[in-house]
DNA sequence: AAGTGGAGCAACCGCACCATG
DNA sequence: ACATGGTGCGGTTGCTCCACT
């Protein structure tokens, strides 16, 4: 037996909203708010609409500061980066683009951006006979175009899932210094150390003595670190220079693969993902939502509760 | 001018999660 | 512990517009 419908479908209007309906809904919410009950709202203002429909109309069209119109190049980059990192979590992606709605971004991705990427893939296929590597090459090319701000945001997303009671510290034991990546609100907890070099020792530059810049905190994301230091050196550059030292080793592995590995490790830590494919082993696993779908983000409270009950997890499989 | 097909987008649908009693 | 109802999310549908023939 299915659940009861949220409204009487026979007696509600469907389809496009009229200007009068828009005005009614907007005026009411601006004056009274939603009252915490979307289902009851249309009855209060005499609208023959389903509560869910009202909510959608308000969130996607009527509420203030909604940005309509074409997407900028920077927004394209952010969407691509986040999609390739976390998949179709449109609401999370939308949270990084002020004024854009998840519906907008979803539509934009499905109708334009995806095709843009597919066009790139076709171009690759025409110029390459390497079969299975094409997809990876496409992603690599696309992501290599994407600059640090997007990566910082992606990193921040993962950081935002991490409970602040367990300050997450990315350590590099070979360099004898570390960077605290999450604020702690409770000094009684021991920081959980997360060795980002342990699964890729061959990529570590033993002679690299560059300090890690101090993470700062973005005013709009006060609980997550932001990776720009005072000199404007960004995470992308730091990944290039700091722990993996690809230039020094002449290694053809990209910073972005390392970044994905780190992100995947954080994912495993927080969500207990059993996806064990590693970017070093697989040609298609890095951030590919089809090859290795990311687990859904655990609610902050659940994650925190789990850690408080069970303590920090064992070292993640992806980094053993 | 009329027909057709594709693109873009607003809106709907169903499911999962969460709060509450 | 369970049932119920509200909310949020992602996938899908269907309407409108426009370019092309």
In this structure, the number of other CB atoms found within 10 A of the CB of residue A87 comes to 18
Q: How far apart are CA A205 and CA A24, in angstroms?
A: 64
Mean pLDDT, residues A108-132 taken together? 59
- pLDDT at residue A269 in the model: 35
> Which nucleotide minimizes the distance between its C1' and the CA of A61?
B10
Distance A101 CA to C18 C1' (A): 26
- pLDDT at residue A86 in the model: 66
- pLDDT at residue A5 in the model: 60
Q: Which fold has domain A73-144?
A: Arc Repressor Mutant, subunit A (1.10.10)
CA distances from A22 to A63, A76, A214 (A): 11, 30, 48
In this structure, are residues A55 and A88 in contact, taking their beta carbons and an 8 Å threshold?
Answer: no
Of the candidates A168, A197, A170, the one whose C-alpha atom is nearest the C-alpha of residue A183 is A168
For nucleotide B9, the protein residue with its alpha carbon nearest to C1' is A107
Distance A233 CA to B17 C1' (A): 40
For strand C, the positions having any atom within 7 A of a protein Cβ are 5-12, 15-16
Distance A160 CA to C10 C1' (A): 22
- The answer to whether A104 CB sits below 7 Å from nucleic acid chain B is yes
Distance A171 CA to C19 C1' (A): 58
Of the candidates A197, A203, A216, the one whose C-alpha atom is nearest the C-alpha of residue A265 is A197
For nucleotide B10, the protein residue with its alpha carbon nearest to C1' is A16
Statement: residue A17 has pLDDT above 80: yes
Per-residue pLDDT band at A241 (split at 50, 70, 90): very low
Q: Is domain A17-62 annotated with CATH 1.10.10?
A: yes
In this structure, are residues A182 and A191 in contact, taking their beta carbons and an 8 Å threshold?
Answer: no
Q: Where are the domains of chain A?
A: 17-62, 73-144, 147-319
Per-residue pLDDT band at A118 (split at 50, 70, 90): low
In this structure, the number of other CB atoms found within 10 A of the CB of residue A144 comes to 11
Per-residue pLDDT band at A9 (split at 50, 70, 90): low
- The answer to whether A156 CB sits below 7 Å from nucleic acid chain B is no
Q: Which of A31-35, A107-111, A313-317 has the lowest mean pLDDT?
A: A313-317
Per-residue pLDDT band at A101 (split at 50, 70, 90): confident
Distance A162 CA to B10 C1' (A): 36
Distance A234 CA to C12 C1' (A): 40
Exposed e or buried b for every residue in A49-80, given b needs 16+ CB within 10 A?
Answer: bbbebbbbbbeebbeeeeeeeebeeebbbbbb
- The answer to whether A17 CB sits below 7 Å from nucleic acid chain B is yes
Distance A28 CA to B13 C1' (A): 26
Per-residue pLDDT band at A34 (split at 50, 70, 90): confident
Q: Give the single-character DSSP code of A188.
A: T
């Amino acid at each position: 037996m299915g659940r009861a419908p949220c409204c009487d479908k026979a007696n509600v209007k469907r389809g496009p909203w009229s200007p009068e309906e828009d005005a009614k809904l907007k005026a009411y919410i601006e004056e009274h708010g939603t009252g915490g009950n979307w289902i009851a709202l249309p009855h209060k203002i005499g609208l023959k609409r389903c509560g869910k429909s009202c909510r959608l109309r308000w969130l996607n069209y009527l509420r203030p500061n909604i940005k309509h119109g074409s997407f900028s190049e920077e927004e394209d980059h952010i969407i691509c980066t986040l999609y390739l990192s976390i998949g179709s979590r449109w609401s999370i992606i939308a949270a990084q683009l002020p004024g854009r709605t998840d519906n907008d971004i979803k539509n934009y991705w499905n109708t334009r951006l995806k095709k843009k990427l597919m066009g790139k893939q076709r171009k690759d296929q025409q110029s390459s006979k390497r079969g299975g590597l094409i997809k990876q090459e496409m992603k690599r090319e696309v992501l290599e175009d994407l600059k640090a701000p997007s990566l910082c945001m992606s990193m921040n997303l993962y950081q935002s899932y991490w409970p602040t009671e367990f300050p997450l510290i990315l350590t590099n034991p070979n360099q004898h210094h570390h960077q605290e990546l999450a604020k702690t609100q409770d000094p009684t907890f021991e920081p959980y150390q997360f060795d980002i070099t342990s699964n890729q020792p061959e990529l570590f530059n033993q002679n690299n003595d560059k300090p890690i810049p101090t993470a700062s905190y973005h005013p709009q994301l006060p609980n997550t670190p932001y990776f720009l230091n005072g000199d404007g050196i960004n995470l992308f550059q730091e990944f290039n220079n700091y722990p993996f030292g690809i230039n020094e080793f002449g290694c053809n592995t990209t910073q972005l693969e390392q970044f994905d590995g780190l992100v995947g490790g954080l994912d495993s830590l927080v969500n207990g993902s059993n996806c064990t494919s590693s970017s070093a082993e697989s040609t298609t696993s890095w951030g590919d939502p089809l090859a290795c779908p990311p687990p859904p983000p655990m609610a902050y409270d659940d994650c925190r509760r789990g850690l408080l009950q069970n303590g920090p997890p064992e070292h993640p499989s992806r980094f053993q």
